[in-house]
Structure 1
Amino acid sequence: MSDNDEIQLFRDMVLRFLEQEIIPHYDDWEANHHTPREVWKTMGQAGLLLVDLPEEYGTAGANFSVAQMIQEEMCRLGLHALATGYNIHANIVAPYILNIGTDEQKQYWLPKMASGDVLTALAMTEPGAGSDVAAMRTTAERDGDNYILNGSKTFITNGNMADMIIVTAKTDSTAGAKGISLFLVDTSLPGFSTGNPIHKIGQHSSDTAELFFEDMRIPTDALLGAEGQGFVYLMQELPRERLGCAIQAIGHAQGALDLTVEYVTDRKAFGQRIGQFQNTRFKLAECQTELEMCRALFEKHMEKFARDEMTVIDAAMLKLAATEMQLKMVNECLQLFGGYGYTDEYPISRFYRDARVQTIYAGSSEIMKEVIARGILGR
């Protein structure tokens, strides 16, 4: 079976799953600002979690392109909040464990993650440290066979429901970025708590949390990778993380364009369809062109990633281009809906709200520009 055949086979299955298990309930989840925990088990049972990891962990053993396609289809259908949680669990946390973890850690966590019995999160951002990871204040101090974890994190996707969280913490407070380590934190242990769910402008049904660690004892075998190498690992995993952000942007923009084409084809004003006005036609032409340019850039970097040649600078350029395109395009699409686009009745309004965070999380556009500029100037 070719890669394209495999992707099409999975796409058909994914679309059936989303249409039967997710879309009928999604408006209620958005209204309640909550996605039920059982959804993750349902996705696990359908074989949609960790699809590109080795089959020994109970996964499909598919190509990485399949994992990207799942996110693209979720976003194209307007399920951006679900895609964000999926990206964290299946596309970010799982590879960290696969690439850095011990055999024991992989055997213990990955099968449970693939089945949906364990939901995961990644905790980096703190109230006073976002993109500046080296400024974090959460600490993990060695005490015999344990580390004692103290601190807090915020804006953590999947945080309230997560059974395990990769937590970044300082194991050497004097070493800056070189003093950061990663830990697989079991949230059932004493000393862990969460605040009230964080309500946001968009992606309402995405579980976003504050986390607190108070004298939390975690075993030394919860250390992920080597002590003090956390920042290095974060940089190593950035290309895959930002590929996920980019495909979400592309899928979401495509979905907004699809909705808009349908609307302007039917809606009339001044005796003709909106799609017959030159301004509408030119706006759609610009949107389609910018979308295809970003898709070409994405495909280029997917090929580089497959060859293990994608750099942090590549990831920054892709993330910057795709998410800025997404915001611009969804804004243009909503404008063509006129007043109806500003109502909850029309899905384009949710596309508009959900897109806004894409240029902020996983590294803001400003940080992406700084990373790119350093690559150009050498500093």
Structure 2
Amino acid sequence: MNLLLILIITLAVLLGVPPIRRALISAPIFKVFKKILPPLSETEQQAMEAGDVWWDGDLFQGKPDWQKMHQYPKPKLSEDEQAFMDEQVETLLAMLDDYDIVQKKRDLPEKVWDYLKQEGFFAMIIPKSYGGRGFSAIANSTIVSRIASRSLTAAVTVMVPNSLGPGELLMHYGTDQQKDYWLPRLADGRDVPCFALTGPEAGSDAGGIPDTGVICRGEFEGKEVVGIRLNWDKRYITLSPVATVLGLAFKMFDPDGLLGDKKDIGITCALIPTSHPGVEIGDRHFPMGMAFMNGTTYGKDVFIPLDWIIGGPDYAGRGWRMLVECLSAGRGISLPALATATGHLASRMTGAYSYVRQQFGLSIGKFEGVQEAFARIGGLTYGLEAMRVMTAGAIDLKLSPGVVTAIAKYHMTEMSRTILNDAFDIHAGRAIQLGPKNYLAHGYMGVPISITVEGANILTRNLMIFGQGATRCHPYVLAELQAAANPDANEGLQQFDGLLLRHVGFALGNTFSCLWQGLTAAAFNKSPMAGETARYYKQLSRMSRALALTADISMLMLGGDLKRKEMLSARLGDVLSHLYMASAVLKFYEDNGRQQADLPFVHYNLQRSLAEIGRAFDGFFANFPSRVVAVLLKRLIFPFGIGYKMPADDICMDICDALSKPGVIRDRLTHLCYIGEGEQDPTGLMEQAFIEMHQAQPQLKAILLAQRDGKISRKVPMEQAITEAEAAGIVTSEQAEQLHHMNKLRFEAISVDSFKPGEL
């Protein structure tokens, strides 16, 4: 008893007396911490600190506040934004012939370019006070999605000026003079912008750009001034071939100390008219055969004044921070919008095609092999729409959530790739023959572009999601890193000491919580909602705790090596990603009134996300360097094994059934899909054939029954069966006429394009 009392007193002194604790506990740990976690570079520090922590912080810290999530406002279009959708966007869609644009002209028609400029499509994010539209992020996303369902070329052309580029950088960082001059010109289309960041040897590692700007004296407008001598060579720059103003990122140096003592100033962004002497707009690229403008730009010894720096001379060297913050917002709008458009188009058209196309006397959508792929299309599309809305909603809260937008960019573009692969499998020959009737091919060609741009997906998954999430979302790690980087060792130790106890308490709380939730299968976790979704909240809370604990253990044991263990860290990033994706689906379901028809889609996404979380954890445990720690962690988190399963077959069948017949759920899930008017448009043709076949079901069933009874011929073309049914009195002459028209539409809808010899 006395020994126990002495032990308690000793522990209380060690932990409760700051000087003793710092000397005997914190200082040795701090020394080891500084060794295993090398100091961050300046660009890494800026990247880690850029952007905002949002719902991702709740998920990473193990205590998601579901009530708080559901209190985020539901994003919706304003009256002006909806009017623009109904008028200008629909007018634009009617002007587009995507096959002609991509395969023949390899450019948008001049009248389309003029319409885009005149109607403010390039000025959606520019405030109304400067002549722009002043639209929200959800409007920007919705407009781009709607256009992309018709023409990827037009969508990319619209999205780029409204994403990372001169307009956004000017709005956030520009001087008043720069804003007053450039923003009205960008808003009314007098100037077309591009932004040059990527070069031949600097893609994902934008911090490694070789392009330089040297502070020197030179002549500008007949006067000798202090300015910048630029040399650059950029590639893959969208809108570069038609741009009139160039945003340029470069490394800035001041060897002669004209601005101060600092020689290496850092990454800087400037705005340069392409008509300026020495600016070269070079060759055009041809990305995957797409027709949007993309090309090169370069310049040698181009002199510009200092006030062309975006934000003026005070923002020299701050370009990397500017780019990371703006890119994180743009990444959450543009590419997710394209991915979602893919889902809307593929869901609607694949549902129609799988009903219209018949084999062995049945619609191919009746075959379970087709249903398995089609359920993925529909299920993932629901998830895409949920993520699109939630992520754009975060940006409309005036946030720049870097981790969330990285999750959205990576997973949504990968989901669109899966959707298009499945749509191609189901459409088969109808999908691979390129021509005016093919509504899938150009989207399929564009998927690798989305995978590659704005942070290549391999980089995004393996470095950004967990790497940035672990430091930004964790309640203590970033502050601990900053303490380790403090040049004043004593001050750094004091900062670290204050964080250490709280970090230890955080880790112990997560440990005991994981064990309890594992033993009870999270049965006692709270859920903000009753009904069929309640169990998902409980399991997601459990997995959130598991992520917090596993991340802590990983950083403790691997330290700086965790950054190089990309396969391990990416799996933890997958856990965080699926927690966010599942959250988005739950919020989307609630925001839309808990529609009963949505439940198969909700079950599909939540079960898929939980199964993927289980798979990610399983892979992490199987490959963690310390086998003892891996086994202990697995037994702690999953004492009875990982029990999550992919969605059951009946859920998949329910999704297929919902999307294979006209109805509210089909219209709601695919509301962004463009459907052309009349039978001349491929989507309009397929939709009309689909509707007429559904309307003819009573007559078609009567004909099928007559064939089985031997009243009319079996296994004959449908045209002959209809004629015989009319003669036998099974259908009336009016019904027969409607059936003949339906069959003509059906045959035309499933037919593919062909070209006369020499036409191609």
Aligned to 1:230: 319
Distance 1:38 1:189, change over 3 A: farther
Distance 1:56 1:8, change over 3 A: closer
The reply on whether 1:349 has 2:441 as its aligned counterpart is yes
Aligned to 2:414, the other structure's residue is in SS state helix
CA contact (8 A) 1:80 1:252 kept: no
Aligned to 1:150: 231
Give unmatched runs, 5+ long, in structure 1.
none
The reply on whether 1:19 has 2:93 as its aligned counterpart is yes
Structure number with bigger Rg: 2
Q: 1:256 aligns with which of 321, 346, 350?
A: 346
Aligned to 2:149: 76
Residue 137 of structure 1 deviates from its aligned partner by: 0.8
**Deviation string, structure 1 residues 190-237 (Cα, Å, up to 9, x no partner):** 1122332112224x2111101111111222221013000010001111
Aligned to 1:221: 307
The reply on whether 1:163 has 2:244 as its aligned counterpart is yes
The reply on whether 1:337 has 2:409 as its aligned counterpart is no
The reply on whether 1:110 has 2:205 as its aligned counterpart is no
Aligned to 2:246, the other structure's residue is in SS state strand
**Deviation string, structure 1 residues 7-29 (Cα, Å, up to 9, x no partner):** 432221244222333x14x3332
CA contact (8 A) 2:120 2:189 kept: no
Distance 1:73 1:298 in 2: 13
Distance 1:157 1:251 in 2: 20
The reply on whether 1:283 has 2:283 as its aligned counterpart is no
Q: 2:451 aligns with which of 337, 355, 359?
A: 359
Residue 6 of structure 1 deviates from its aligned partner by: 4.1
Aligned to 1:238, the other structure's residue is in SS state helix
Residue 125 of structure 1 deviates from its aligned partner by: 0.5
**Deviation string, structure 1 residues 79-100 (Cα, Å, up to 9, x no partner):** 1122222222123321111111
Kindly report which structure 2 residues correspond to 1:37-48, keeping only aligned pairs within 5 A, or say none: 39-48=112-121
Distance 1:109 1:300 in 2: 32
Residue 3 of structure 1 deviates from its aligned partner by: 3.3
Aligned to 1:373: 466
Q: Which has the higher helix share?
A: 2
Aligned to 2:122, the other structure's residue is in SS state coil
Q: 2:277 aligns with which of 181, 184, 190?
A: 190
What is the RMSD of the two structures over their aligned residues, measured on CA atoms?
2.2
Distance 1:176 1:275, change over 3 A: farther
Aligned to 2:170: 97
TM-score in terms of structure 2 length:
0.47
CA contact (8 A) 1:118 1:162 kept: yes
CA contact (8 A) 1:239 1:310 kept: yes
**Deviation string, structure 1 residues 255-286 (Cα, Å, up to 9, x no partner):** 22222222222222222222222222232222
Distance 1:364 1:177 in 2: 28
Kindly report which structure 2 residues correspond to 1:203-214, keeping only aligned pairs within 5 A, or say none: 204-214=290-300
Distance 1:221 1:40, change over 3 A: farther
CA contact (8 A) 2:329 2:402 kept: no
TM-score in terms of structure 1 length:
0.92
Distance 1:326 1:319 in 2: 11
Q: 2:414 aligns with which of 313, 324, 335?
A: 324
Distance 1:60 1:195, change over 3 A: closer
The amino acid that maps onto 2:450 is: Q
Residue 176 of structure 1 deviates from its aligned partner by: 12
Distance 2:455 2:264 in 1: 17
Give unmatched runs, 5+ long, in structure 2.
1-75, 218-224, 256-261, 472-562, 564-760
The amino acid that maps onto 2:459 is: I
Distance 1:189 1:310 in 2: 33
Residue 173 of structure 1 deviates from its aligned partner by: 9.0
Distance 2:340 2:374 in 1: 15
